[in-house]
Structure 1
């Protein structure tokens, strides 16, 4: 009989060889998938995750008020808990995913968790079970969207295709989902019940898992080792200029944080303001959100084009002025046509910051694209921590329309902070 010590290395070599063959076959299969099929799979994944989000976020305050029957303060605390869990869990998952070989498995895992969260919301009416358990599942599950964007960028780089334009087109799918999602979610929730609405959202996540398994490509992970340290990058600003950049980064973070806080407070309070205080149609809230999302798409494209002629700072300042007009208008708008017309200002306000905010951070932090992107993302996520309690406390003491006064003040402060950011 052959010696065990002699056969063991041979077995190891054979095992390694078979593993390489498996990886090569998987990679070859990814390459052989028609480009149109892969592109369609990515776009559909972005759209479906956007649909699921646009079903849950706009109707959550109405769900908590009508189905769970909690106070405005408890509604606000629910949003805060949701935001904190989302920030912490998504960062942990993102770090873990970067060490995994196949990002598709992460997308499938997140989608399955989100399905569990949607089912819990559909059939459970205990505030604390929803606040901790269901939100935990959905916080992890919502990471399916950024994981899909990460896989799309890796696929574009690996196949030497245009990455920026493809990512931009994927981003428009989110806005497109928010055109369809809010009106549809309100129609289903108010017509058939919240159980059906959450099960539709669960079906969207199920389709995402199927697409990830069947159509999304496998992309081999490649470790990228920087050739130079950040301080050795050519053209790095001098020490005093670094200090100026850091100050601008802080001020830009404050600006984005305040802008997203205003938007968060609007999304929470607007449905209840329209229904309970203006006594307008219950479906109007979904129509308003869908209208704003539809107008954001051309705003994004136009803002990107205008950067050839105008500075990003001037465009963001324009967005802030539009936000100021929007929230002042919300104080006086009482009719349906007035609320719909105001969405043009809201679309400019949100569309520009959603397009140029991340780019501005990246311009201020050359060589640190990951940190820059994370800062912008955290500004948006952390805004919900403030938005929830603010709406709850203000509505508890006064009413939901009073939230717009606070938004006006916050936009004014963000105008001041943005004016101090250096132009890039």
Structure 2
């Protein structure tokens, strides 16, 4: 009885540790992402096109590096050790951004370090999936709770990021990010399990099974890339666009992002039973439609109150795609949670490849509204691709 109670207690500690690491990594990322375009514009003097090029190069590097590391982890690697390595590089990368203002250094060394650092999150989710399977936890609920931590981080971090910029500057912001990654290293090292992924062996009939699913995986990956690409265009453009609006405080962009993240949590929790009832495909179709409507609103409204109101559509889009997109890929790729999780993350990076250049060109040549009309068209294309994916 005592041993059983001890085992339950240890399991609860590990569960909390996964949530805590997801939250800390999420906060660290959400402190950086909303301000990168401002950092490059103000800190290095980059033009909108140079900002777009940075996002594109960063995304290309991220896709290649994370996919190689995912294959290694699925082939029997120690995922905890891989997460520790990525977090260590993330600390060094944050220090680089804190003290360097040279665009080409950031575009080369910074991009390489960022691509390694961002692999920590998909590997954390892959480790969590493996742990949930072995511990007998409900995978959907466990993964959703971790995803909630990411949304919670976006409630906290963007307002804090813009407040820090206004009062202390970019150096203080990136030093804070470095401290958060250092804290995550301590938690991963002391509390997360050191599970080795079992090398995936093709079972009898698995080749045909994968062949029938490949088309669905390709369409889903492309749809996710388009949806996250439209979101990246929004994240790059919105801070600069909103900060330039007449009568709008500079920190308003942070509150918009934080408010949307708060709604995302509610939507994620609410959509969990709906996924069980209706399936993942219908929910993803709703998300793509919400995205198209949201970007239409961004292109047409110009009052702060209206911008706040349409964040409900943004929250529905991000909440659904963020909550079930990774699970959808994992179910289409059974036996390879690391590859599926990294595919999901790479869909974000792949979206950023075209998003950076498209946003930079559209903003520089036609203005901010053109960016959102473009994002709306991209979301409708994603909706068409999702119609070609069968429910998992």
User: What TM-score comes out, normalization by structure 1 length?
Assistant: 0.83
Out of 250, 257, 280, the residue aligned to residue 312 of structure 1 is 280
CA shift, 1:53, in A, is 0.5
- Aligned ranges 1:331-410 → 2 under 5 Å: 331-362=299-330, 372-410=340-378
Does structure 2 retain, via aligned residues, the 8 Å contact 1:278–1:334? no
In structure 1, how many angstroms separate the alpha carbons of the residues matched to 2:389 and 2:201?
Answer: 32
Is residue 413 from structure 1 mapped to residue 381 from structure 2 by the alignment? yes
In structure 2, how many angstroms separate the alpha carbons of the residues matched to 1:249 and 1:220?
Answer: 26
In structure 2, how many angstroms separate the alpha carbons of the residues matched to 1:155 and 1:297?
Answer: 23
For these two proteins, the number of residue pairs brought into alignment is: 387
Does structure 1 retain, via aligned residues, the 8 Å contact 2:90–2:114? yes
CA 1:167–1:361: 2 relative to 1, 3 Å: closer
CA shift, 1:158, in A, is 3.6
In the other structure, the counterpart of 1:219 is 195
CA 1:131–1:296: 2 relative to 1, 3 Å: same
- What SS class does the counterpart of residue 59 from structure 1 fall into? helix
Deviates more, 1:350-359 or 1:131-140: 350-359
Out of 275, 281, 292, the residue aligned to residue 243 of structure 2 is 275
CA 1:147–1:315: 2 relative to 1, 3 Å: closer
In structure 2, how many angstroms separate the alpha carbons of the residues matched to 1:313 and 1:103?
Answer: 30
In the other structure, the counterpart of 1:186 is 162
Deviates more, 1:337-346 or 1:254-263: 254-263
Does structure 2 retain, via aligned residues, the 8 Å contact 1:82–1:131? yes
Unaligned runs of 5+ in 1: 1-29
Report the RMSD for the aligned CA atoms in angstroms: 2.6
1:359-397 per-residue CA deviation (whole Å, 9 max, x = no partner) reads: 444555567666655543332220000110111111111
Out of 32, 41, 44, the residue aligned to residue 20 of structure 2 is 44
Unaligned runs of 5+ in 2: 1-5
In the other structure, the counterpart of 1:12 is none
CA 1:99–1:363: 2 relative to 1, 3 Å: closer
- What SS class does the counterpart of residue 309 from structure 1 fall into? helix
CA 1:319–1:151: 2 relative to 1, 3 Å: closer
Instruction: Return the structure number with greater relative CO, CA threshold 8 A, min gap 6.
Output: 2
In structure 2, how many angstroms separate the alpha carbons of the residues matched to 1:420 and 1:220?
Answer: 35
In structure 2, how many angstroms separate the alpha carbons of the residues matched to 1:140 and 1:352?
Answer: 27
Is residue 198 from structure 1 mapped to residue 174 from structure 2 by the alignment? yes
Is residue 177 from structure 1 mapped to residue 153 from structure 2 by the alignment? yes
Does structure 2 retain, via aligned residues, the 8 Å contact 1:275–1:281? yes
In the other structure, the counterpart of 1:26 is none
- What SS class does the counterpart of residue 30 from structure 2 fall into? helix
In the other structure, the counterpart of 2:204 is 228
CA 1:123–1:188: 2 relative to 1, 3 Å: same
